[in-house]
Protein backbone atom coordinates (compact mmCIF):
# COMPACT_ATOMS: atom_id res chain seq x y z
CA UNK A 1 0.00 0.00 0.00
CA UNK A 2 1.41 3.29 -1.10
CA UNK A 3 0.72 6.63 0.70
CA UNK A 4 0.59 9.57 -1.61
CA UNK A 5 2.34 12.61 -0.36
CA UNK A 6 0.38 15.84 -0.78
CA UNK A 7 2.15 18.76 -2.29
CA UNK A 8 2.98 21.67 -0.03
CA UNK A 9 0.70 23.94 -2.08
CA UNK A 10 -2.35 21.70 -1.68
CA UNK A 11 -1.65 21.25 2.00
CA UNK A 12 -1.42 25.03 2.60
CA UNK A 13 -4.43 25.73 0.39
CA UNK A 14 -6.56 23.31 2.42
CA UNK A 15 -5.33 24.92 5.62
CA UNK A 16 -5.42 28.62 4.65
CA UNK A 17 -7.45 28.76 1.42
CA UNK A 18 -10.71 29.95 2.93
CA UNK A 19 -8.92 32.82 4.66
CA UNK A 20 -7.36 33.88 1.37
CA UNK A 21 -10.70 33.82 -0.40
CA UNK A 22 -12.26 35.87 2.41
CA UNK A 23 -9.47 38.45 2.10
CA UNK A 24 -9.98 38.70 -1.68
CA UNK A 25 -13.74 39.23 -1.20
CA UNK A 26 -13.14 41.88 1.49
CA UNK A 27 -10.80 43.81 -0.81
CA UNK A 28 -13.30 43.52 -3.69
CA UNK A 29 -16.12 44.92 -1.51
CA UNK A 30 -13.94 47.77 -0.24
CA UNK A 31 -12.96 48.73 -3.80
CA UNK A 32 -16.57 48.58 -4.95
CA UNK A 33 -17.67 50.91 -2.15
CA UNK A 34 -14.76 53.28 -2.76
CA UNK A 35 -15.23 53.64 -6.51
CA UNK A 36 -18.92 52.94 -7.12
CA UNK A 37 -20.52 55.38 -4.67
CA UNK A 38 -20.43 59.00 -5.87
CA UNK A 39 -19.23 61.52 -3.33
CA UNK A 40 -20.22 65.15 -2.82
CA UNK A 41 -17.85 66.87 -0.37
CA UNK A 42 -20.43 69.40 0.90
CA UNK A 43 -23.23 66.98 1.77
CA UNK A 44 -23.39 63.33 0.72
CA UNK A 45 -27.21 63.45 0.84
CA UNK A 46 -27.47 66.54 -1.36
CA UNK A 47 -27.97 65.85 -5.09
CA UNK A 48 -25.16 67.30 -7.19
CA UNK A 49 -25.84 70.74 -8.64
CA UNK A 50 -28.43 71.87 -6.07
CA UNK A 51 -28.17 74.66 -3.54
CA UNK A 52 -29.05 73.85 0.08
CA UNK A 53 -31.97 75.78 1.51
CA UNK A 54 -31.28 78.89 3.57
CA UNK A 55 -33.74 80.61 5.85
CA UNK A 56 -34.58 84.19 6.80
CA UNK A 57 -36.18 85.21 10.10
CA UNK A 58 -39.99 85.13 10.16
CA UNK A 59 -40.14 88.59 11.82
CA UNK A 60 -37.96 91.69 11.58
CA UNK A 61 -36.49 92.96 14.84
CA UNK A 62 -37.98 90.02 16.70
CA UNK A 63 -37.22 88.97 20.25
CA UNK A 64 -37.59 85.42 21.48
CA UNK A 65 -40.49 85.26 23.95
CA UNK A 66 -40.17 81.51 24.55
CA UNK A 67 -37.43 79.35 23.08
CA UNK A 68 -37.49 75.80 21.73
CA UNK A 69 -37.11 73.22 24.51
CA UNK A 70 -37.42 69.49 23.86
CA UNK A 71 -35.31 68.42 26.84
CA UNK A 72 -36.63 70.70 29.58
CA UNK A 73 -40.05 71.76 30.75
CA UNK A 74 -41.31 75.34 30.48
CA UNK A 75 -44.30 76.73 32.34
CA UNK A 76 -47.30 77.66 30.17
CA UNK A 77 -49.09 80.53 31.93
CA UNK A 78 -52.24 80.17 29.82
CA UNK A 79 -52.70 76.45 30.47
CA UNK A 80 -51.17 76.56 33.98
CA UNK A 81 -48.94 73.55 33.35
CA UNK A 82 -45.35 72.56 32.63
CA UNK A 83 -44.65 71.31 29.10
CA UNK A 84 -42.00 70.92 26.44
CA UNK A 85 -42.01 73.64 23.77
CA UNK A 86 -41.17 72.37 20.27
CA UNK A 87 -41.43 75.83 18.70
CA UNK A 88 -40.02 79.31 19.06
CA UNK A 89 -42.29 82.20 20.09
CA UNK A 90 -41.27 85.55 18.62
CA UNK A 91 -42.54 89.07 19.14
CA UNK A 92 -41.82 92.28 17.24
CA UNK A 93 -42.99 95.91 17.38
CA UNK A 94 -44.73 95.78 14.00
CA UNK A 95 -45.97 92.11 14.14
CA UNK A 96 -45.36 91.48 10.41
CA UNK A 97 -44.70 87.80 9.68
CA UNK A 98 -42.72 86.65 6.63
CA UNK A 99 -42.07 83.33 4.91
CA UNK A 100 -38.66 82.00 5.99
CA UNK A 101 -37.98 80.50 2.52
CA UNK A 102 -39.51 79.97 -0.92
CA UNK A 103 -42.34 77.48 -0.87
CA UNK A 104 -46.02 76.67 -1.37
CA UNK A 105 -48.79 77.35 1.15
CA UNK A 106 -50.17 73.87 1.85
CA UNK A 107 -52.65 74.75 4.60
CA UNK A 108 -54.48 77.72 6.11
CA UNK A 109 -56.54 76.84 9.17
CA UNK A 110 -58.02 78.50 12.21
CA UNK A 111 -58.87 77.01 15.58
CA UNK A 112 -59.33 78.41 19.07
CA UNK A 113 -56.32 76.60 20.54
CA UNK A 114 -53.65 77.70 18.02
CA UNK A 115 -55.36 80.67 16.37
CA UNK A 116 -54.85 81.19 12.65
CA UNK A 117 -52.25 78.72 11.34
CA UNK A 118 -50.35 78.81 8.02
CA UNK A 119 -48.24 75.89 6.80
CA UNK A 120 -45.67 76.30 4.01
CA UNK A 121 -43.88 73.42 2.25
CA UNK A 122 -40.27 74.18 1.29
CA UNK A 123 -37.66 72.13 -0.58
CA UNK A 124 -35.44 69.52 1.08
CA UNK A 125 -38.30 68.19 3.23
CA UNK A 126 -38.79 71.37 5.30
CA UNK A 127 -42.19 72.68 6.41
CA UNK A 128 -42.64 75.92 8.35
CA UNK A 129 -45.74 76.50 10.48
CA UNK A 130 -46.83 79.96 11.63
CA UNK A 131 -49.42 79.95 14.44
CA UNK A 132 -51.20 82.66 16.43
CA UNK A 133 -51.68 84.84 13.35
CA UNK A 134 -54.48 87.36 12.88
CA UNK A 135 -57.27 86.40 10.44
CA UNK A 136 -56.19 89.04 7.88
CA UNK A 137 -53.71 86.99 5.87
CA UNK A 138 -51.79 88.10 2.78
CA UNK A 139 -51.75 84.58 1.28
CA UNK A 140 -54.11 81.65 0.70
CA UNK A 141 -53.78 77.88 0.36
CA UNK A 142 -52.03 76.91 -2.88
CA UNK A 143 -50.10 80.20 -3.23
CA UNK A 144 -46.41 80.14 -4.06
CA UNK A 145 -44.45 82.37 -1.71
CA UNK A 146 -40.95 83.81 -1.84
CA UNK A 147 -38.48 84.07 1.01
CA UNK A 148 -39.24 87.28 2.90
CA UNK A 149 -42.79 87.63 1.51
CA UNK A 150 -45.27 88.90 4.10
CA UNK A 151 -47.87 86.29 4.98
CA UNK A 152 -49.72 87.99 7.86
CA UNK A 153 -49.54 89.52 11.33
CA UNK A 154 -48.70 87.96 14.68
CA UNK A 155 -51.50 88.21 17.25
CA UNK A 156 -52.84 86.76 20.48
CA UNK A 157 -55.32 84.48 18.67
CA UNK A 158 -53.89 81.25 20.17
CA UNK A 159 -55.79 80.44 23.35
CA UNK A 160 -53.11 77.95 24.46
CA UNK A 161 -50.62 80.88 24.78
CA UNK A 162 -52.95 83.88 25.17
CA UNK A 163 -51.26 85.12 28.37
CA UNK A 164 -47.99 85.52 26.44
CA UNK A 165 -49.52 88.42 24.47
CA UNK A 166 -49.36 88.91 20.72
CA UNK A 167 -46.61 86.77 19.21
CA UNK A 168 -45.74 84.33 16.45
CA UNK A 169 -45.60 80.66 17.42
CA UNK A 170 -43.10 79.32 14.82
CA UNK A 171 -42.53 75.60 14.24
CA UNK A 172 -40.14 74.00 11.77
CA UNK A 173 -40.34 70.41 10.49
CA UNK A 174 -37.73 68.41 8.57
CA UNK A 175 -39.00 65.23 6.93
CA UNK A 176 -42.09 65.26 9.15
CA UNK A 177 -40.22 65.70 12.45
CA UNK A 178 -40.18 68.88 14.55
CA UNK A 179 -36.69 70.35 14.62
CA UNK A 180 -35.11 73.17 16.60
CA UNK A 181 -35.45 76.39 14.52
CA UNK A 182 -32.29 77.68 16.24
CA UNK A 183 -30.33 75.17 14.13
CA UNK A 184 -31.59 76.78 10.89
CA UNK A 185 -32.45 80.40 11.69
CA UNK A 186 -30.15 83.08 13.11
CA UNK A 187 -32.02 83.44 16.41
CA UNK A 188 -28.97 83.48 18.67
CA UNK A 189 -28.85 87.27 18.86
CA UNK A 190 -32.57 87.68 19.46
Distance separating alpha carbons of residues 8 and 140, to the nearest angstrom: 83
Could you tell me the CA-to-CA distances from 82 to 64, 79, 115, 169, 176 in Å, in that order?
A: 19, 9, 21, 17, 25
Enter the CATH code of domain 63-183.
2.70.70.10
Looking at residue 42, what is its pLDDT?
Answer: 47
Residue 190 has pLDDT above 50, yes or no: no
Residue 43 has pLDDT above 60, yes or no: no
What is the pTM for the complete model shown?
0.70
The dihedral formed by the CA atoms of 106, 110, 112 and 114, expressed in degrees to the nearest 10 = 30
Higher pLDDT, 135 or 7: 135
| Residues 6 or more apart in contact with residue 155 via CB below 8 angstroms | 95, 115, 116, 132, 133, 134, 166
Residue 27 has pLDDT above 80, yes or no: no
Could you tell me the CA-to-CA distances from 49 to 39, 40, 112 in Å, in that order?
A: 13, 10, 44
| DSSP count for the chain of H helices, then E strands | 1, 12
Looking at residue 41, what is its pLDDT?
Answer: 46
Residue 46 has pLDDT above 60, yes or no: no
List pLDDT tens digits, range 95-140.
999 999 999 999 999 998 899 999 999 999 999 999 999 999 999 9
pLDDT category, 60, cuts 50, 70, 90?
A: very high
Residue 181 has pLDDT above 90, yes or no: yes
Looking at residue 107, what is its pLDDT?
Answer: 97
Residue 15 has pLDDT above 80, yes or no: no
Point out which residues pair with 103 in neighbouring strands: 145
pLDDT category, 52, cuts 50, 70, 90?
A: confident
Amino acid sequence: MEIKKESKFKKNFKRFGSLGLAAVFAVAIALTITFAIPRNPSDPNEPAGTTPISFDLPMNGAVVVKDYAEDRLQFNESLQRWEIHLSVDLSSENNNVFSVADGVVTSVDSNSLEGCVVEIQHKDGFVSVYSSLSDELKIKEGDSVKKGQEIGQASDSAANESKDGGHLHFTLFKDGVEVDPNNYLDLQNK
